[in-house]
Amino acid sequence: MILDFVEVENFRNLSGKIVWGPGLNIIHGNNGQGKTNWLEAIYLLSRTKSFRTQRLQESIRFGQESAFVAGRVFSGDNLQRDLRITLRENTNDLGLVELQNQLAPWNQQLVSLAAEIHEARVDYTERLNSELERSLFEPAELHIRYSSSLDGKGDLNNYEALLSERLQLRLPAEASAGRALLGPHRDDLAVRLSGRELRVFGSSGQQRSALLLLDLAAISVYNSWHNDRPLFLVDDVDAELDEKRIRRLLEYLEGRTQTFITTSKRSHLEGFLSKANVHEIVEGEAVQAELHRSTFSAAATD
């Protein structure tokens, strides 16, 4: 899949249109100019939601009543899709369904569907484990495990019966809380590095590296299923990764997927500028590519 362009109006501080390259796309600029906003626009176009807020109205430029994000993607045998999302101030968010006196029929559906979700997630986790590029950043052993909220509560091999039993036990608590307290929505992914829980013992750099390895594994699994590759977005790539890890990451991604990264630093990316599609963001707008390449290259050699 290739994202051809993104055009925006009144989406945060952004305006205008950016035409992307099929390989590495570097979104450069000083802090506060809108680099992450362009990534958010791409994410919104592909997922119809934001990675920054649950209330999409918050992304409409202050003082405006609406905003839009549009783009075009190519996939497979020159299949073209034009996408557009319009946001309005008066759009209502989806509310939670009140469960109070209707838990029994809801729980019956939850048990059946949760068993399918649990089985699919366990399988997906095993696939991710098999695709992990564990030596990309450092020789440490990385392992992931699907952690069910029902771990230690009974036989997970008979997940449907176990969940049904636990839901019955927690029925008074769920009625009081007004929400589902058991099910796959309470599960998590356990990540261990060299036998230790990464969330507790890992440094911020190790955690960021592990997250990127999981993303890369997800790309490989997606490709094996669909014979296609999703877009890969990395915000503020130099925040937790040193120059060596950035170089190894970009070398690994070359020729594998269309990549979009943001950075406020130039030194870590000098070796990739000549083969990247580079955009500088100034007050939400992208500087023209040809002008930017010349000034960017000159500045990099100062």
Per residue in 61-85, pLDDT (tens digit) is 998 999 999 999 988 777 888 999 9
Predicted pLDDT of residue 93: 60
| Pick from 235, 229, 293: nearest CA to 261 | 235
Predicted pLDDT of residue 288: 58
Q: Where do we find the tokens 């993607």?
A: 73
Domains of the chain, earliest start first: 2-76+229-301 (3.40.50.300)
| Pick from 8, 35, 55, 21: nearest CA to 234 | 35
Per residue in 169-205, pLDDT (tens digit) is 887 777 666 677 888 999 999 999 888 888 888 888 8
Q: What is the spatial order of strands in the sheet that 24-28 belongs to?
A: 232-234, 259-263, 24-28, 277-282, 285-286
241: CB partners within 8 A, 6+ apart: 205, 208, 209, 212, 249
Predicted pLDDT of residue 7: 95
Whether 94 shows a pLDDT value over 50: the answer reads: no
Whether 291 shows a pLDDT value over 70: the answer reads: no
The structure's pTM equals: 0.72
Per residue in 103-144, pLDDT (tens digit) is 677 788 889 899 999 999 999 999 999 999 888 887 668 899
| CA dihedral (210, 213, 219, 221) positive or negative | negative
Which two three-digit tokens encode residue 295?
């000034």
**pLDDT higher at 239 or 87:** 87
| Pick from 30, 39, 10, 46: nearest CA to 287 | 30
Task: Report d(CA 59, CA 276) in Å as an integer.
Answer: 29
Task: Report d(CA 202, CA 218) in Å as an integer.
Answer: 21
- DSSP string across 156-189: GGGHHHHHHHHHHHTHHHHHHHTS--SSGGG-EE
Flag the least confident range among 87-96, 135-144, 270-279: 87-96
Cα distances (angstroms) measured from residue 222 to each of 29, 81, 131, 216, 234: 32, 20, 11, 10, 18
Backbone angles phi, psi at 210, to 5 degrees: -65, -40
Predicted pLDDT of residue 269: 81
Backbone angles phi, psi at 123, to 5 degrees: -65, -45
